[in-house]
Amino acid sequence: MFDLTGKVAIVTGGNGGIGLGLARGLAAAGARVVVAGRNREKSAAAAAELQKLGPGGALAIEVDVTEQRSVEVLVRSAVERCGGLHILVNNAGINIRKPPHEVTLEEWRRVIDTNLTSAYLCSHAAYPHLKGAGGGKVINIGSMLSIFGAGFAPAYAASKGGIVQFTRACASAWAKDNIQVNAILPGWIDTELTRTAREQIPGLHDSVLKRTPAGRWGAMDDFGGIAVFLAASASDFVTGTAIPVDGGYSIQA
């Protein structure tokens, strides 16, 4: 039920943070993992680490997920070099923290393109290969801001709300092709992205600790298990969901 031997997975932004946590889970369960990011050194280091975790191995392919041509080259190279594609993880993301009246159009577009349009581009390019393989899995990364509002992150919240609806649309469209599409909604996780948030938002570190029933920030390795579940046959009747991985943050009154 949880064996990914023989499966090929692309993880966008798989070279660090939550993406690397997801990739570690997939590699340890036997998948061959394609680490897809912009930073070549970081991606090569991540692939070298993943290589040691399981029999499937890993490789790095450079991509800018905001560029259609770059995404198409990623998917084509992954299929050629690995012999197919079964799992797509749309994880790459950025945030620009400003109130709505201060966000420029360029900043708005950069966030939406990186967090939301990227998921469309990657899913669109991957779909024929997933379908051709007889089925597959798409895992999209949302956020607590898929659920809650936040005055400091309007474009990010819009992109992450959109990710949940895009997940449902794809799940509905592709169920007949045996492709399951689900979203993960991380709580507050200790990564590069939130290290800057802690610098920019006074009191954030302690308020997250206080509100999270688990009493801690999340870690990248909190994502290996959910990645394996959503990528494996264990979840074949699970589609269109948005699963919080948040230590209880979203259920706290």
Burial class (CB in 10 A: 0-12, 13-18, 19+), 67: middle
* Dist. CA 206–CA 209, nearest whole Å: 5
* Dist. CA 127–CA 87, nearest whole Å: 10
Pairing of strands 87-90, 32-37: unpaired
Q: Is 154 in the site for ligand NAP (CB under 6 A)?
A: no
Q: Which of 53, 91, 122, 127 binds ligand NAP (CB under 6 A)?
A: 91
**Residue 189 CA to its chain's centroid (Å):** 13
Whether residue 45 contacts residue 112, with contact meaning beta carbons closer than 8 Å, is answered with no
* x/- letters, 166..195, toward ligand NAP (CB under 6 A): --------------------x-xx-xxxx-
Q: How far is the CB of 100 from ligand NAP (least distance, A)?
A: 18
Q: Which of 50, 66, 78, 130 binds ligand NAP (CB under 6 A)?
A: 66
Whether residue 191 contacts residue 220, with contact meaning beta carbons closer than 8 Å, is answered with yes
Q: Is 162 in the site for ligand NAP (CB under 6 A)?
A: no
* x/- letters, 93..112, toward ligand NAP (CB under 6 A): xx------------------
Q: Which of 49, 64, 72, 107 binds ligand NAP (CB under 6 A)?
A: 64
Q: Which of 10, 18, 89, 155 binds ligand NAP (CB under 6 A)?
A: 18
DSSP-derived 3-state class of residue 212: coil
Secondary element (H or E) of residue 227: helix 224-231
**Which residues 38-57 are close enough to bind ligand NAP by CB under 6 A?**
38-39, 42
Selected range binding ligand NAP among 64-72, 77-85, 97-105, 170-178, rule: CB under 6 A: 64-72
Two tokens, residue 52:
């040691």
In Å, what is the CA distance from 201 to each residue of 116, 152, 246? 24, 9, 19
120 is catalytic: no
Q: Is 161 in the site for ligand NAP (CB under 6 A)?
A: no
| 8-state DSSP, 182 | E
Closer CB to ligand NAP, 17 or 247, in the complex:
17
List the catalytic residues. 156
Interface residue list for ligand NAP (CB under 6 A): 12-13, 15-19, 37-39, 42, 63-66, 91-94, 114-115, 141, 143, 186, 188-189, 191-194
